[in-house]
Amino acid sequence: MVIFNMKGMNILESKKEIKSFKAMDILEKAIEMEDIIHLELGEPDFDTPKPIKDEGIRAINEEKIIYTHSMGMKELRTEIAKYYNEKYGTNICYENIVVTAGTSPALLLAIYVVLEYSHKKEILTSNPGYACYPNFINFLSGKMKNYDLDINNNFKMDINKIKEKITENTAAILINSPSNPTGDVIKEKEYQEIADLGLCVISDEIYQGLVYNGKQYDSILNYTDNAIVLNGFSKLFSMTGWRLGYLIVPDKFLSLTQKLEQNLFISANTISQYAAIKALTSLEVEKEVENMIKEYNNRRIITINELKKHNLKIAANPEGAYYMIIDVREYTDNSLKFAYEILEKAKVAVTPGIDFGSNLEGFIRISYATSTENIIEGIRRIGDYIKGL
Ligand SMILES: Cc1ncc(COP(=O)(O)O)c(C=O)c1O
């Protein structure tokens, strides 16, 4: 029996092993300490744009507080489909959108539906990859099968390594671009290669839009119909606490997805749904989001320059999201211990690479979703600490 204690809030007893999130342990410890610079957080530091907040307040004042349709408000689903089609060049209908309380519940539904529908067990994911994926797959009695991303290849995917892992029991491949933790962005040729595998694809597109070199928005849906897309409002619109996300689901999975959404969640947060319509339709929000993307890019460039200045090695090619991987293999083979040392001695909170899979042991992840002052000072502290080793 394992106790799952994330942010000290959820205590869940289960026979399945759910791995504790080391980053959360570090965050909790960092919160108790003083004068800590937080480079571990995967959360935008920007406020939610005002028109979105105003719309949420309006919804409350006008008592828009009852459950919505289990699939979400038709108006929101229509705007999501329109937004995807305009920004991402896709061709989807509102009927295929299921609104959820964040991308995390969307992930739960997507994995369940694919396993149930296919009667297969294995989900392919990358190592390194988002730390929660193994827990979702395990919780749903699936079997995670990792394909390696190689440091010598900048942690880019190698389609042959994926092909080697496909068996007759493969239910789907789960991809994430832009990537948490590497910041890598899947390019057109790679999307095409993934589509050509002929597998069902679960595509976590939560960081789409946060891309800094070249094409800003892309989707697996431009390459195959056999895909479930996950996205949400947390990152691009700075709405983590509003808890709103969605799935784009092919017809064959729709009724199963709806049944599950209805039973597990009834509907997503009504107030947030009203606010999300504003997020997708307000020109003022669009401008603000563009400015946020520009600012993330500024910070990305500053982070790269500061790391170089302090002789810290950047692994991977950080073109999207707001994460960077630092190679600290010269100093440690235990990234968790190293992260605690950096916290205690340099007073900077970072995420140990091991949270994201064995291929990131010996690496740490930093996030540049924070002020430039914090980035510059945090990297200086890490650099000074490492120089003293
Ligand atoms: C890759 C990835 N997917 C999903 C999520 C969950 O996002 P949400 O806030 O929409 O549940 C996160 C959050 O950090 C993430 O990094």
Nearest atom, ligand 1, residue 179 CA: 1
Question: What pLDDT does 18 receive?
Answer: 64
For position 17, what pLDDT does the model report?
A: 64
Q: Which atom of ligand 1 is nearest to the CA of 244?
A: 10
**Residue 102 Ramachandran class (φ > 0 left, ψ -120 to 50 alpha, else beta):** left
Residue recorded with tokens 């079997």: 143
Chain centroid offset of residue 35 CA: 28
Sequence letter at residue 367: S
Q: What is the CA radius of gyration of the chain?
A: 20
Question: What are 349's strand-pairing partners?
Answer: 38
Question: For the range 299-308, what are the long-range contacts, defined as Cβ-Cβ under 8 Å and sequence gap of 24 or more?
Answer: 299/368, 299/369, 299/370, 299/372, 299/375, 300/212, 300/324, 300/368, 302/368, 302/372, 302/375, 302/376, 303/366, 303/368, 303/375, 303/379, 306/375, 306/376, 306/379, 306/380, 307/379
Which residues have C-beta within 8 Å of that of residue 322, sequence separation ≥ 6? Answer: 42, 44, 183, 210, 296, 299, 300, 367, 368, 369
210 — phi, psi (to 5°)?
-90, 70
3-state secondary structure 254-313: HHHHHHHHHHHHCCCCHHHHHHHHHHHHCHHHHHHHHHHHHHHHHHHHHHHHHHHHCCCE
Beta bridge partners of 351: 365
Ligand 1 mean position to 104 CA, how many Å?
6
Q: Are residues 271 and 314 in the same domain?
A: no
Residue 37 class from Cβ within 10 Å (0-12 exposed, 13-18 middle, 19+ buried)?
A: buried
Residues 6+ away with beta carbon under 8 Å from 352: 22, 23, 26, 335, 336, 338, 339, 364, 365
- Report how far ligand 1's centroid is from the alpha carbon of 206 (Å): 6
Last residue of a domain, one of 282, 317, 334: 282
Same structural domain for residues 156 and 244?
yes
Report CA(83)–ligand 1 centroid distance (Å).
Answer: 20
The answer to whether the CB of 314 falls within 8 A of the CB of 368 is: no
Same domain, 293 and 277: no
Cβ atoms within 10 Å of 11's Cβ, excluding its own? 9
The number of beta carbons lying within 10 Å of the beta carbon of residue 330 is 9
Q: What pLDDT score was predicted for residue 6?
A: 37
Same domain membership, residue 381 and residue 270:
no
Q: What is the CATH number of the domain that holds 299?
A: 3.90.1150.10
Strand partners, 326: 314, 364
Ligand 1 pocket at CB < 6 A: 42, 102-104, 130, 176, 180, 204, 206, 232, 234, 240, 245
Of 98, 135, 206, best ligand 1 pocket probe by most atoms within 8 Å of the beta carbon: 206
Q: Is 247 in the same domain as 364?
A: no
> Range of 189's domain?
50-282
- The alpha carbon of 111 and the centre of ligand 1 are apart by a number of angstroms equal to 15
Residues 80, 246: contact at Cβ < 8 Å?
Answer: yes
Same domain for 232 and 337, yes or no, is: no
Q: Which of 232, 256, 282 is the last residue of a domain?
A: 282
220 in Cβ contact with 203 (< 8 Å): yes
- Do 18 and 95 reside in the same domain of the chain? no
Same domain, 292 and 232: no
* 307 and 263 in a common domain: no
Which residues of the chain fall below pLDDT 70?
1-21
Specify the amino acid at residue 348. Answer: V
Q: Quote the ligand 1 centre to 63 CA distance (angstroms).
A: 29
For atom 7 of ligand 1, which residue has the closest CA? Answer: 103
CA dihedral 133, 344, 360, 8 (to 10 degrees): -10
Please report, to the nearest 10 degrees, the dihedral formed by the alpha carbons of residues 376, 381, 386, 389 taken in order. Answer: 160
366 CA distance to ligand 1 centroid (A)? 16
Which residue is listed with tokens 């600490």?
Answer: 385
* Interval between CA 208 and ligand 1 midpoint (Å): 12
Mutation probe of ligand 1 site: the residue of 235, 238, 240, 323 with most atoms within 8 A of C-beta: 235
Residue 313 CA to ligand 1 centre (angstroms): 26
Cα(233) to centroid(ligand 1), Å: 10
Cβ neighbours of residue 123 under 8 Å, at least 6 residues apart? 111, 114, 115, 137, 142, 143, 144, 145, 170, 171, 172, 173, 174, 202
CA of 103 to the centre of ligand 1 (A): 6
151/168 Cα distance (integer angstroms): 29
The total number of structural domains in the chain stands at 2
Q: Which atom of ligand 1 is nearest to the CA of 130?
A: 1
Same-domain status, 156 and 64: yes
The DSSP secondary-structure symbol of 338 reads H
Respond yes or no on whether the N-terminal peptide bond of residue 178 is cis (omega within 30° of 0). yes
- Residue 9: the pLDDT is 36
What CATH number does the domain containing 242 carry? 3.40.640.10
**What is the identity of the amino acid at 70?**
S
- Looking from the CA of residue 233, the nearest atom of ligand 1 is 10
Residue nearest ligand 1's atom 13 by CA: 42
| Confidence at residue 216, expressed as pLDDT on a 0 to 100 scale | 84
Alpha helix ranges (H) inside 49-187: 50-61, 74-88, 103-118, 133-139, 159-165
Residue 105 CA: nearest ligand 1 atom is: 11
The reply to whether 155 and 43 lie within a common domain is no
Of 282, 314, 331, the position where a domain reaches its end is: 282
Find the 107 Cα to ligand 1 centroid distance in Å.
9
Residues 234 and 343 in one domain: no
Of 24, 126, 132, 269, best ligand 1 pocket probe by most atoms within 8 Å of the beta carbon: 132
Residue minimizing CA distance to atom 16 of ligand 1? 180
pLDDT, tens digit, 9 for 90 and up, residues 8-49: 333 344 456 666 667 778 778 888 887 899 999 888 999 999
